[in-house]
Amino acid sequence: MPQWNPDFETGHPTIDTEHQEFLHQLEMLKVAIDAGAGREKVVDLIVVLQRYVLGHFAREEAHMLRVGCPSHGANCAAHREFSHKFDRWLELLTYSGTPVSLLLEVHRESLAWITHHIQKVDCGLRACPAHGSVPVSPRADEVRKS
Domain boundaries, the chain: 13-129
**In 3D, which of 22, 3, 9, 39 has the Cα closest to residue 107?**
22
For the entire predicted model, the pTM comes to: 0.84
Question: Tens of pLDDT along 41-98?
Answer: 999 999 999 999 999 999 999 999 988 888 899 999 999 999 999 999 999 988 887 8
What number of CA atoms fall less than 13 Å from residue 102's CA on the CB side? 18
Is domain 13-129 in CATH 1.20.120.50, yes or no?
yes
Q: Provide the CA 106 distance to its chain's centre, in angstroms.
A: 12
